[in-house]
Amino acid sequence: LFIPMPITVPMILNRLLVLSSGGIEQIDTNVFRSHVLLRTLDLQKNKLRQLPRGMPSGLEILHLGHNRIHSLQESPLEGLKKLRVLNLQNNQISTLRTNTLTLLQRLECLYLDGNQIKSIHGVPRLPLLSLLSMGSNRIASISSTFFSSLQLLKTLDLSSNRLTKVPHGLPRSLVHLNLDRNQIRSLRNRDMSQLHNLITLSVSSNRLVSVDGGLRLPNLSVSEASQATAGVKSAQQQTLHPACTEPTKTKSSIFGRKPMAVQL
């Protein structure tokens, strides 16, 4: 399905446009020209292979989950100076080039779950990012410099990847960390000693054999390192901006459980 120009769709105050589940493969660059007040655009569950071009500069929330997007091009994102939430769940992205994301200086929430990401290039300079979700990819390692510019990051989900150790250089600001279903064998103090604000930590279904005796996480109230997993509602939603809650589903994670001791 190709959407030509122009498009006239009833919208609430011209701020919300939902075009999900329509089999859309391509959108003309002039489709959104008359919708300068558009703030939320939902294009989930279509057949898009690329990011749409010509999106309104005032856009704040963009849902592109469940499409066939395989890469992030710079030009469609260049004008989105106000974008706060970007949902790219369940696409076909294999390489994450962070210089493209750096265009989004106001981005607060980024969802990349369910892609095919193997490699990450560069350092994402996103000063306002508070939530980064990259679960269910193929990530085996992350550079120690990756988090250096994410000084406000509070929630990080790297569950269901191929990590063999806790990523080095995690930001001090982290409050919630999900590392479920990886191949992590140890929790080392040198990787986590700076996480004084961490409240919830989940490392279920890994290959843990050791935890450093000197590990100090003074504010940790919920932790899980057993081999069991359970579906529970994510409690990080209570501390984030409403727009930063999970856009399409309820997470299965440790968040929301009562405090428990770390088990090996």
3-class DSSP state for residue 190?
helix
Q: What is the pLDDT of residues 127-149, one digit of tens each?
A: 999 999 999 999 999 998 999 99
Residue 61 has pLDDT above 80, yes or no: yes
Cis amide prior to 76 (ω within 30 degrees): no
> Which of the four pLDDT bands, split at 50, 70 and 90, describes residue 33?
confident
Query: What is the per-residue pLDDT for 55?
Result: 96
Q: Note whether 222 and 245 are within 8 A (CB).
A: no
How large is the average pLDDT for residues 183-202?
95
Identify the CA nearest to 4 among candidates 29, 33, 23, 41: 29
Mean pLDDT score, 57-61:
97
* SS3 of residue 85 by DSSP: strand
Residue 213 contacts residue 197 (beta carbons within 8 Å)? no
Who's near 10: CB < 8 A, 6+ residues apart? none
Residue 126: pLDDT over 80: yes
Question: Beta-carbon neighbour count of residue 200 at 10 Å?
Answer: 25
pLDDT band at 44 (very low <50, low <70, confident <90, very high): very high
pLDDT score of 3: 54
Phi, psi of 222, rounded to the nearest 5 degrees: -135, 125
Task: Please give the distance of CA 27 from its chain centroid, rounded to a whole number.
Answer: 25
pLDDT single digits (tens) 227-237: 543 333 333 33
Tell me the three state secondary structure of residue 198: coil
pLDDT in tens, 83-98: 999 999 999 999 998 9
108: closest CA among 77, 131, 80, 78? 131
